[in-house]
Every structure is written in C-alpha cells, then in structure tokens.
C-alpha cells in the first residue's frame, strides 16, 4: 500500500500573513479616514480560558492597528446592563466590530445578546442576518472559524469542487456554517454528529474531513482514506498521569500521519486563523462604514 507523510496546513503562518496585510492596509487608510478600525470584546466573569482568549485577541488587534474597546464585567452583571452596553456600541462610530466572549455565566442569555449586535458590526459572523446571507450566498460577515478553514484550504490550493467533504459536528459556531461554506465552494457535503451511526463508514469515503466535536483523538487512521485532507477544529485540554496538561484536537495526528495528505496541527492550525478572520471581519466592517 502506498504510504504518505502528511503535510502541514500551517494556520500560524497564514494568520501572520493576514496580520501583515491588514497592518499595511490599516496604516494606509487610517490617515485618510481619520481613525483606526475598532473592535469591542465584551467579557463577563473571570473564566481563565476566556481571559486568555481576550488577551490574545487584544494583542492581535494592537499588532495590526485595530483599536480595542474591550469591556470586562463582573460575574453578576445583568442581561439589561449588557444589552445597554451593546446598544451604545452599535451607535459608537469608532467601533466596527462587537463580540461577546463565550461562555457566559448561566444567568445570561447569550443568544439574545447576540441578536442585539447590529449585523454589520457582528465580528463573529454569527448573527442570524449574517448566517442568512451565508445560506443565500450573499456577501456578509462570515463565522470566523469556518471562514478561517476555507482561507487555509485556499492558501494551499486544495481543490473543493466536486470533492466529498465530511463535517463532524453541527454547532452553529462551526459545523453548520462550515457545511454551508463547503457547499458554496461546490463540494459534496455530509454532516455527521453524535447521533450518526458507523462514523468510520462515513469518513472513509471523504476527500476532506473537518472534525469539530470536542472529543480528543476521535479520528484515527482507520477512519481516513489515503490522501485525504484532515482539518482539526477540536481544542481539548487533556491531563496526563503526572498532572501535566496540554492542548489536543479531535484527530489522533500520529495515527493519521501516514495516511492523510494534509493535516492541521493543534495548537497552531485553525486557532490562529479564527483570530485572523475576526480581525479581517472588523476591517471589512470598517471599510463599509468609512467608504
């Protein structure tokens, strides 16, 4: 049987390239427009993982020249207070993108808050209006993680037209918009999920596998056909017997290395692309608001 050594889809390198392009464009436009693009990230409570993600986003903003209007609220903040802040940000001409960092404390309704964000300032691309635009194939802000995956596949000239793509996971964050974007690129798309039977039978025929379920090591060599493209969206923290923790994806990378043609690492694959598209979405909104 033919053996292969899987090649890396380097999200970190492509994200750096996007950052560089944005930095140049923002630098050129800022003098003409009279202000930089602005992004507001709203965080509630003191979830350490969320705090790290927010710091990461603000650092990325500073690097490319996007102004941060981040707000950090105490755990007990009410729904009404947050809705009032979003309403202010919707009207603030300095702010082009707004996102609410998830997860939120249990007493808050994340979906209702998302609906309060103006669709043209929806930096996460998750507002029903933007998802509707995606369904209809109209231009609009796209959900960051699946859009990042599409950019990564395009960067490596991976053909999608007519290919069999399997998306594992059906969340509104990744799975559903991912399937729609692949359809838009003329792939033949299957969506598998926790209730799918005989997952290996479904993935074995796939030219492209997108794993986005949050189960460490779910995909192994027995489930991947020779020469497939495997994109790992999973981010799972696992702890070994010595108490050391590390990030792993949904794919057993060692297992598939001799079968797949391309794969994304965890960390350093899809994660950096999610942040790059968040910045790109903010810049897109800035262009719309200032042109």
**57 catalytic per annotation:** yes
- Which of the residues 10, 96, 122, 124 is marked catalytic? 124
Q: Smallest Cα–Cα separation from 22: which of 68, 53, 65, 70? A: 65
Q: What is the DSSP string of 208-273?
A: EEEE-S--TT-B-GGGS-TT-EEEE---EEEE-TTS-EEEE-SB-HHHHTTT-SEE--TTTSHHHH
- Which of the residues 96, 101, 252, 280 is marked catalytic? 101
Q: Smallest Cα–Cα separation from 130: which of 118, 121, 142? A: 142
Is 35 within any annotated ligand binding site? no
Q: What is the dihedral of CA 196, 259, 153, 128, to 10 degrees?
A: 10
CA–CA distance, 64 with 58 (Å, rounded to integer): 10
- Which of the residues 10, 57, 163, 207 is marked catalytic? 57
236-239 and 245-248 beta bridge pairing: antiparallel
**101 catalytic per annotation:** yes
Is 234 within any annotated ligand binding site? no
- 250 in Cβ contact with 65 (< 8 Å): no
Q: Distances in Å between the alpha carbon of 74 and those of 44, 69, 263?
A: 6, 17, 40
Structure tokens at 3: 């053996």
Is 171 within any annotated ligand binding site? yes
Output the known binding site for NADP(+): 169-171
Active-site residue list: 57, 101, 124
Output the known binding site: 169-171
């Amino acid at each position: 049987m033919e053996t292969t050594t899987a090649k890396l889809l380097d999200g970190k390198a492509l994200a750096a390239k996007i950052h560089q392009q944005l930095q140049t464009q923002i630098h050129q436009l800022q003098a003409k427009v009279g202000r930089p693009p602005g992004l507001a990230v709203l965080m509630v409570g003191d979830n350490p993982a969320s705090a790290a993600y927010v710091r990461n986003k603000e650092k990325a903003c500073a690097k490319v020249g996007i102004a941060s209007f981040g707000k950090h609220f105490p755990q007990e903040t009410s729904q009404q207070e947050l809705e009032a802040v979003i309403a202010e940000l919707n009207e603030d001409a300095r702010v082009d993108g707004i996102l609410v960092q998830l997860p939120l404390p249990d007493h808050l309704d994340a979906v209702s808050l998302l609906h309060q964000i103006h669709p043209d300032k929806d930096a996460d691309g998750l507002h029903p209006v933007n998802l509707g635009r995606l369904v209809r194939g109209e231009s609009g802000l796209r959900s960051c993680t699946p859009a990042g995956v599409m950019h990564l596949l395009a960067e490596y000239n991976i053909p999608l037209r007519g290919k069999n793509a399997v998306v594992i996971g059906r969340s509104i964050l990744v799975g559903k918009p991912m399937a729609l974007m692949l359809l838009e690129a003329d792939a033949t798309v299957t969506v598998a999920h926790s209730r799918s039977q005989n997952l290996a039978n479904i993935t074995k025929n796939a030219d492209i596998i997108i794993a986005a379920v949050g189960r460490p090591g779910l995909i192994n060599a027995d489930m991947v056909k020779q020469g497939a493209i495997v994109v790992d969206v999973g981010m799972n923290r696992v702890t070994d017997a010595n108490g050391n923790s590390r990030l792993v994806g949904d794919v057993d990378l060692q297992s598939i290395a001799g079968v797949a043609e391309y794969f994304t690492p965890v960390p350093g694959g899809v994660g950096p692309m999610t942040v790059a598209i968040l910045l790109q979405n903010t810049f897109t909104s800035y262009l719309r608001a200032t042109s």
